[in-house]
A and B are shown apart, each in its own frame.
Chain A
């Protein structure tokens, strides 16, 4: 069975602090895909990044960076110099290439609050 765990239910930091959102996954598929989505108060999920299981390079996009470590089955997301607009619920998700090919399995989400 596939599973995604986001152990941090809520995080609150002051603006300009760096913050890391943790994501741990379980899958038996040898090929799989990991995703991060942002859900602002409006409710719509916004796609942030996709990472393939065979590509362990970390990625940076502006203030956002992602650390993928197969050895620990983790795909953590760091926001540098956080801003109030980063306040949202963030979801990590997993999609397999065989057993779990038909759906995204989501974690419970982490509610991030950036205080001014």
Chain B
């Protein structure tokens, strides 16, 4: 079964703690993305990566960090510097190139109190 997995589905953290969200894909896609979704809003791009060991900031990268050590994996760390971390986080991947659609994982709902 090809697809994107994100774990865990729900995550709870105390304010001030860093937390890492997992994203793995077995679609052999070169490009991977992280989006944030807030209630009643569209998705906003946090970071994206087109190749291993390279990644670029999206529109709302402040307070987040990523790594891309393997083609299949693109973990996102929400740091304590992120002012409003509670949100729904979606990982996506695609074939490299602009025409291609992105495929999304099931998402992780992060709650920070």
Residues of A within 8 A of B (CB): 4, 9, 33, 35, 37, 42-47, 50, 52, 91, 95-97, 101-104, 106-109
Contact = CB atoms under 8 A, between A and B. Distances in A.
Interface residues of B, number: 25
Interface string B46-62: 00100000001011000
A110 B59 CA distance: 22
Nearest to B6: A44
16 contacts: A33-B98, A37-B104, A42-B106, A44-B105, A44-B107, A47-B102, A50-B101, A91-B43, A102-B48, A102-B56, A103-B45, A103-B58, A104-B33, A104-B43, A108-B40, A108-B42
B101 A43 contact: no
From A4, A102, A109, name the one whose CB has the most chain B CB atoms within 10 angstroms: A102
Interface of B: 33, 40-45, 48, 56, 58-59, 88, 90, 92, 98-107, 109
B98 A43 contact: no
B41 to A, nearest CB: 6
B95 to A, nearest CB: 12
B103 A47 contact: yes
A43 B107 contact: yes
Given A44-B105, A45-B104, A91 B42 contact: yes
Nearest to A46: B104
